[in-house]
Amino acid sequence: MKRSPTEATLKAAYEAAKERYADWGVDPDEALKTLATLSLSLPCWQGDDVVGFEKKSTALSGGILVTGGAPGRARNGDELRTDLDFSLSLLPGKHRVNLHAMYLESEKAIDRDAVEPRHFDRWVAWAKEKKLGLDFNPTYFAHPKALSGLTLSHPDRSIRDFWIEHGLACRRVAADLGRRTGSACVHNTWIPDGYKDAPVDRWAARHLLLESLDRIHKTPADPAVEIDAVESKLFGIGVESATVGSHEFYLGYAVQRRLAVCLDMGHFHPTEDVADKLSAVLLFAPSVLLHLSRPVRWDSDHVVVQDDPVLRVAEELVRIGDWDRVSLGLDYFDATLNRPAAWVIGARAVLRSLLMAMLQPTAQLQELERTGDCTAKLVLVEELKAAPWQAVWDWHCYRNGVPVGASWYESVKEYAKTTLATRN
């Protein structure tokens, strides 16, 4: 891991790869130009195990569970931003950071229905200094009023009203973040609402959720500063039998109300393929927010790796080619790993998958499919699995001034000694 290739070696490998890709009619230079325009939104909650900065002691709820105890967890906003700074420095390209409402910074305790833009002033100042975009999520879990497992669909009107006020407050925050950073903030609503045992009256619960969402989204967002999205879930710990905000519910709601649909890779049955959903959803919904994650048997939010499901999503995105209607976010939290390393592993895996997809002769493959030459298509698909994409990726990293190959991990180990180890 310690040895880094020279510029001459990297350049020679890249030129050789370009010659090979030219045989397929692919221009790696163009692929890298497109890749450089894409931004990933890194989940801030990976850096502190979804603890947040509220002055409270309510444990995680809503089916969220963090396992592991790697040393060096960020304990406040300054430490979390320092870790994000370091992690972003190891990634090629310009990326974003995704916040939850629970990461507000205030001298006194602030309840969820009283969250204001000023509670994120330090995040905005940091983002403007680093020229980063910020995204935002309401936090409908880890709160006394969420312990029943129901929030926006709760039968108690006062509970629903509290969470509706939280949703409205978060929309104001998101719009402010987008306005002040100069980059539209993706505001994504996910709620934990569901039932441990089979409910009798799903209809009533979904009617209540519909009413709550309509109150939150009564005023349309200005797309220049805020993009509203809704996110479904299949099940969670404690809500194994049913979720109120199912995929069908939110798909219908988003299409009818003209919101973005969030597709989280861990929020579907194990045999469902998120990549297959993209072309269908984008025919009807204004836009899609992707939460790239790695479910292991269930929605366990493991760190993204360069596996087949992620590559299939990347291929579908490239083949659709409508980048203006897609937002790319990572969503995972793993305390068994060095936390900055987890950000870098996941982001690099997604970027490499996108590059691999961009380096495919998409037009040629589509033409073979249109003409019914399935044999030639499969031959080419299999041949591409051995294509020299790694040389293109290495050159991309080198040109962007970030470590090539796994050499970035040496920086992480040093950072762990000098920074993470100082945290008790």
Report the alpha-carbon distance of residue 184 to residue 21 in Å, rounded: 36
Distance, in Å, from the CA atom of 35 to the CA atom of 97, rounded to the nearest integer, reads: 18
Q: Distance between CA 331 and CA 289 in Å, rounded?
A: 11
Q: How many CB atoms lie within 10 A of CB 183?
A: 19
3-state class of 202 per DSSP?
helix
Q: Are 273 and 339 in contact (CB under 8 A)?
A: no
Q: Which amino acid is at 330?
A: L
Instruction: Please identify which residue in the block is written with the tokens 């500063």.
Output: 225
Strands 133-137, 288-292: pairing is: unpaired
Secondary structure of 319-375 in HEC code, one letter for each residue: HHCCHHHEEEEECCCCCCCCHHHHHHHHHHHHHHHHHHHHCCCHHHHHHHHHCCCHH
- Which residues does the annotation mark as catalytic? 190, 231, 233, 264, 267, 291, 299, 301, 331
- The residue type at 70: A
Pairing of β 242-243 and β 194-195: antiparallel
123 burial class (0-12, 13-18, 19+ CB within 10 angstroms)?
buried
Contacts 24+ apart (CB under 8 A), 206-209: 206/153, 206/244, 206/249, 208/152, 208/153, 208/154, 208/155, 208/160, 209/152, 209/153, 209/244, 209/245, 209/249
What are the DSSP calls for 1-62, one per residue? ------HHHHHHHHHHHHHHHHTTT--HHHHHHHHHT--EEEEGGGGTTS--S-S--PPP-T
